[in-house]
Every structure is written in C-alpha cells, then in structure tokens.
Structure 1
Amino acid sequence: MTARYDEPNLIAKAGNAVIRRLAEAGVSIMGSRALRVRGRTSGQMRGVVINLMTIDGVDYLVSPRGNTQWARNARAAGEVEIGPRRRARRVAITEVPDDRKAPLLKKYLDRWFWEVKGHVGGLTPSSTPEEIALAAPSIPVFALAR
C-alpha cells in the first residue's frame, strides 16, 4: 500500500460535514452512510461519511482519497460503527488484499465516479483492469464482517 492521501479542501470538508450529519440522522444520499471509528491516538470516536458498496452479499468500504485518517483508524481498530447514530452497528472489518481490489474498484467507479472524480488515484470508469490494478495499492478497501 502506498501513502497517497488526497486531502479534501475546505469546500469538500464543508460539504462532507453536511452529508455526514444527514447520514447520522438516517438520511442516505446515493448510498451514503455514517461511519464512526475510534481514533488511533485520541481514542475518541471520529465520524465520516462513506459510500457503502454491497457485492454478492458482502459490504465494502472504499477510501477513494487514499490512506485517509478514517482508513488508518479503521485498519488499527479492526472495527467500525456504521449507520445512523440511533441505530449504529459495530462491525469487524478486514482489509482487502491489493490483488483482489480491481473488480471491486471497477464497480465503485461505475457507481460513484461522479462523486469522487479526481480523487481516486487518477482512475475513471473507463480505466483498464491493468490501470486499476496499478492504482489499487493506493486505495484502501475494507470488507465488513457479516
């Protein structure tokens, strides 16, 4: 895995904060969900909005901006809380190996490229499997336990 992290600008942070508050209240916009994860240093729960992707009955989290704080925290904690605050569920996660990410990333790009364009390692929905495989190490993907 590489250390790529495409940090959001102030406008993106403000927009994400609004979407996160809606997701925490139970309002999903195009698959958005509230995610909370315990901070590695502070131990405090940190919130972010993510797009939950389900493929063949397995839920996946993708960090298109790379090795973000939430991805590093999730990796360290081994679990996340997902869903609205009043109905959040704690779920164990496992990181998907780089060699298994390409088909998952292709589906993610097909669904959410309009939202993450420019922040997903230079990939587009028309990227070749080889291009996706080359970028995969810079995009953390986690599978949620059932």
Structure 2
Amino acid sequence: MSDTGTLPGWLKPANRLVKLLHRLGVPLGTIHIITIPGRTTGEPRSTPVSPLTVDGRRYVIAGLADSSWARNARAAGHGRLTRGRAHEDVDLVEVTDPAVRRRVMTAFPTEVPHGVQFFIRLGIVEGAEPAQFAAAADEVAVFETRPAAHRPAAAQP
C-alpha cells in the first residue's frame, strides 16, 4: 500500500479538543497525549497517541513514519505521556527489528480498534485484518516507551 492517503480535515480540531479534555483531567479511551521537545526549537509539541502493550512492552505508532512527532521523537529520544491528569516521563526508542515491528502492528487492530480507520485513510492498509497491519510494519514508525532514565530537569518536555 502507498502513503498517498490523507487524514480527515476534522482531525486537527479534534486533536485540539482531545488535548483540552486531557488538560481538564478527562481521559478518553486508550488515547494519551505524547509531548516531545521540538527538534529545532525545543518547545514542547503534543499529539494524541494510543499506546499498546505487546509481550509486556509498551509501544506507540506513528502512521506517518516521517510525521513531525516521529521526527521529534527520534531527535529527542524522550517525552511525556499524559492520560487525563496523570503523566509519565518516558524514553522513546525506535524499533528497528522487523519481527518486533510486525508483532506490534499485528496487535494494533485488536488493541486500538478506533485507530484502524486512520491507517485505512492513509492508504497503509485496506482493512482491519492483523495480517494487513503486519505487512505494513515497514511503512510506519514504531517507538517503544520505557520509563525515563534520570535526566536534568531542563531536558524534560
């Protein structure tokens, strides 16, 4: 599949609403907010994500491997996951092992069913079948989230 699809026009306003609700302490389903320092400005940049757990490890997926938040995650290597008023500082490690990427993508349609439509809309998959997601593992960015290593307060998002 190609990445020629586009995200729906309502997504940016919806993301703003989701971020606002989280700031008010209202968590929504599996959605968390990931905040990562911008790669050029260092200013915090936030976007909704849905972490999933596979083989006891937690991951987040960027449907567009070259999205701003994925590039920021690669550059910073850390961020903050927020759900409602709870937050957790995490290290972000991009997964390069193809077998692990396939396992994570295979689990996605079951673990995060509300996210399937975004992958379909982007043209990454045609349906919600786990095999289609596994086949698309090389087209997305997969990051493992780990408890943050100690770093100076100035380096926190």
Q: 1:26·1:83 contact (CA, 8 Å) conserved in 2?
A: no
Specify the alignment match of 1:17 in structure 2. 16
Q: In the TM superposition, what is the alpha-carbon distance from 1:113 to its structure 2 partner?
A: 3.7
Specify the alignment match of 1:80 in structure 2. 79
The one-letter amino acid paired with 1:38 is P
- Report matched runs for 1:15-94 at 5 Å: 15-84=14-83, 87-94=86-93
Deviation beyond 6 Å, 4+ runs, structure 1: none
Q: 1:51·1:61 contact (CA, 8 Å) conserved in 2?
A: yes
Q: 1:7·1:65 contact (CA, 8 Å) conserved in 2?
A: no
Identity between Structure 1 and Structure 2 (%):
24
When residues 84 and 77 of structure 1 are mapped into structure 2, their CA distance, relative to the original with a 3 A threshold, is same
SS for the counterpart of 2:136 is: helix
SS for the counterpart of 2:63 is: coil
Q: In the TM superposition, what is the alpha-carbon distance from 1:12 to its structure 2 partner?
A: 1.1
SS for the counterpart of 1:145 is: strand
The one-letter amino acid paired with 1:135 is A
The one-letter amino acid paired with 1:31 is T
Stretches of structure 1 lacking an aligned partner (at least 5 in a row): none
User: How large is the Cα RMSD of the aligned pairs?
Assistant: 2.6
Look at both structures and tell me which one has the larger radius of gyration over its CA atoms.
2
Render the CA deviation track for 1:77-131: whole Å, top value 9, x for unaligned: 0001111585433211111115121111111122324334124612533252xx4
* Alignment length (residue pairs): 142
The 10-residue stretch of structure 1 (44-53 or 113-122) with the greater mean CA deviation from structure 2: 113-122
Say if 2:115 is the partner of 1:115: yes
Specify the alignment match of 2:150 in structure 1. none
SS for the counterpart of 1:17 is: helix
TM (norm. structure 2) is 0.76
Q: 1:6·1:66 contact (CA, 8 Å) conserved in 2?
A: no
TM (norm. structure 1) is 0.81
Q: 1:39·1:73 contact (CA, 8 Å) conserved in 2?
A: yes
Query: 125, 129, 145: which one pairs with 1:126?
Result: 129
Specify the alignment match of 2:142 in structure 1. 141
Say if 2:103 is the partner of 1:103: yes
Stretches of structure 2 lacking an aligned partner (at least 5 in a row): 148-157
Render the CA deviation track for 1:33-66: whole Å, top value 9, x for unaligned: 1110000112100111110112333211111243
The 10-residue stretch of structure 1 (68-77 or 88-97) with the greater mean CA deviation from structure 2: 88-97
